Amino acid sequence: MKVTVVGTGYVGLVTGACLAQVGNQVLCVDVDADKVARLQTGDVPIHEPDLPAMVQEGIAGGRLRFTTEVAEGITHGDFLFIAVGTPPDEDGSADLRHVLAVAGDIGRHLQRPVTVINKSTVPVGTAQKVRARIAAVLQDRAADIVFDVVSNPEFLKEGAAVADFMKPDRIIIGVDNVAAAERMRVLYAPFNRNHDRLIIMDPPSAELTKYAANVMLATKISLMNELAGLAERMGADIEQVRRGIGADPRIGYAFIYPGCGYGGSCFPKDVRALEYSARQYDFDAPLLAAVEKVNDRQKGLLEQKVVRALGEDLTGKTIAVWGLAFKPNTDDMREAPSRVLMEALWRRGAQVQAYDPVAMEEARRIYGGEPALRLCSDPYMACEGAEALVICTEWQQFRSPDFVRMRSLLRQPLIVDGRNIYDPAVVRAEGFAYHAIGRP
Ligand code: NAD
């Protein structure tokens, strides 16, 4: 099948590469000429396990191509995916500018019947807006071309995006006619062999399903973080509590880790966007506001713990930071807790020595000119002469470090662990002062 994917970010590139992997002819379109130039040579600009090999295989096999030519893109595909960003506007609403720009492009260049598939995370009613925009532009051209608009939100996780796309938990298809649903079933058949993962519903329900999933997950995290705050004050250990509640199958162990707050490009913006939508419908949704408020407070916790140990004024002091990405296995630093921490430390006059296994280039892009940041090529180098080590991301390689070496490098044996990756008894036996989340 001929597929066009507009937008080659985390979602678009993974979608394009995976659809090419199973034999489709895929053309990916992006307005970012530098990104397209890199992708044309097989150079994948993001860190995502298995993605570079898949992209290179697709290119070599002639099934995957990249272009900045939107007209070429629109005329190529029978399926046109919209996978552009929907960043938060100042008021928290999802900014649909890019999505509707692509809808306009489709209207301008469409030559034959197609299925337009919206993969971006968008508020309820967007499928309708996309349809209206395409129809209006077609009408201006006096072109009578039929097309369907399908809502197909994406649930991949950064860091496991390829695996998630190839073996999805579910494929949500929001459609208003049976023929379009059948076409989607055929397109997704290669990813739907083991058992039927397609859940077909109306477009508004599909659009809300995406927000509902992210808000549910964000709520789990904020609730655990609120409980961690209580545990810390009451002399309980949230990690023991976590194991205790996870044993109940109605609760389960998944996604109930306390920590220094959620980040990334999805949870923060999607919670805010749903809050905004609730206001548009004049519906009071206090839980959503609370989830966000708890998370904002949580992101400030690491700074507080450092200040409690080292004092308010950190002028001339150096702090080591391990982990810059918002979670392991990605280089994405959007809304990462590490950023809130480092910016707070800089305001207090501290120097930061940071290490991340893959996000160093991204850190350089964001904070290149920051004199108080030293990016270190090795985690131990980051500890050299530092008053404390703060862990912001639970990378596997931080789990069993050489504590003796760390202690000899740090000026003070102090660890602030934002992800609770160590056993407090072990770390303290190694001679460290250890402050974690929700642990006595
Ligand atoms: P991203 O910012 O990484 O990539 C978006 C891409 O779209 C960029 O390369 C940009 O240049 C391109 N673009 C913007 N306007 C364009 C236009 N008019 N024509 C062509 N290309 C254009 O975004 P992302 O993380 O891939 O997210 C895309 C959407 O998917 C968002 O709505 C997001 O909420 C949703 N989503 C993201 C994830 C995730 O983990 N990142 C997961 C599920 C859903």
Give the range of the structural domain holding residue 145, as residue numbers without chain letter.
2-201
Tokens of 289: 């506001």
- Whether 175 and 30 map to the same domain: the answer is yes
- Whether 240 and 291 map to the same domain: the answer is yes
- Whether 289 and 304 map to the same domain: the answer is no
Check which CATH number belongs to the domain holding 78 and give it: 3.40.50.720
With the C-alpha atoms ordered 17, 19, 22, 25, is the resulting torsion angle positive or negative?
negative
DSSP conformation letters of 56-113: HHHHHTT-EEEES-HHHHHHH-SEEEE----PBPTTS-B--HHHHHHHHHHHHH--S-
DSSP conformation letters of 31-62: S-HHHHHHHHTT--SS--TTHHHHHHHHHHTT
Total domain count, the chain: 3
Name the residue of 13, 15, 18, 30 whose CB sits within 8 Å of the most ligand 1 atoms, as the mutation to test its pocket. Answer: 30
DSSP 116: E
Using 70 as the pLDDT threshold, list the residues of the chain that sit under it: none
- Whether 32 and 155 map to the same domain: the answer is yes
DSSP 387: S
39 lines ligand 1 (CB under 6 A): no
| H helix or E strand, kind and range, residue 323 | none
Query: 423 CA distance to ligand 1 centroid (A)?
Result: 39
Nearest CA to ligand 1 atom 30: 120
- Whether 174 and 269 map to the same domain: the answer is no
- Whether 288 and 311 map to the same domain: the answer is no
Of 201, 230, 245, which residue sits at a domain end? 201
Residue type, position 79, single letter? F
Whether 206 is covered by a domain: the verdict is no
Which of 154, 153, 97, 93 shows the shortest CA–CA distance to 129? 97
Q: Which is the closest atom of ligand 1 to the Cα of 155?
A: 43
**How high is the pLDDT of residue 325?**
98
Which of 200, 199, 198, 160 shows the shortest CA–CA distance to 18? 160
Q: How many CB atoms lie within 10 A of CB 300?
A: 15
Verify whether residue 28 is a known catalytic residue: no
- Whether 274 and 310 map to the same domain: the answer is no
Whether 440 is covered by a domain: the verdict is no
207 lines ligand 1 (CB under 6 A): no
**How high is the pLDDT of residue 440?**
87
Q: Among 266, 376, 383, 392, which one carries the catalytic annotation?
A: 266
**CA 198/CA 206 separation, integer angstroms:** 12
Q: What is the largest CA-CA distance in the chain?
A: 77
Whether 127 is covered by a domain: the verdict is yes
**CA 279/CA 260 separation, integer angstroms:** 28
DSSP 352: E
Whether 80 is covered by a domain: the verdict is yes
Check which CATH number belongs to the domain holding 233 and give it: 1.10.1040.10
Q: From its phi and psi, is residue 405 left (phi > 0), alpha (psi between -120 and 50) or beta?
A: alpha
Of 242, 269, 297, which residue sits at a domain end? 297
- Whether 326 and 409 map to the same domain: the answer is yes
- Whether 109 and 240 map to the same domain: the answer is no
Of 150, 169, 201, which residue sits at a domain end? 201
274 lines ligand 1 (CB under 6 A): no
- Whether 183 and 245 map to the same domain: the answer is no
**CA 435/CA 326 separation, integer angstroms:** 20
Whether 340 is covered by a domain: the verdict is yes
- Whether 176 and 81 map to the same domain: the answer is yes
Q: List residues bridging with 355 in a β-sheet.
A: 322
pTM: 0.96
**CA 212/CA 121 separation, integer angstroms:** 11
DSSP 222: H
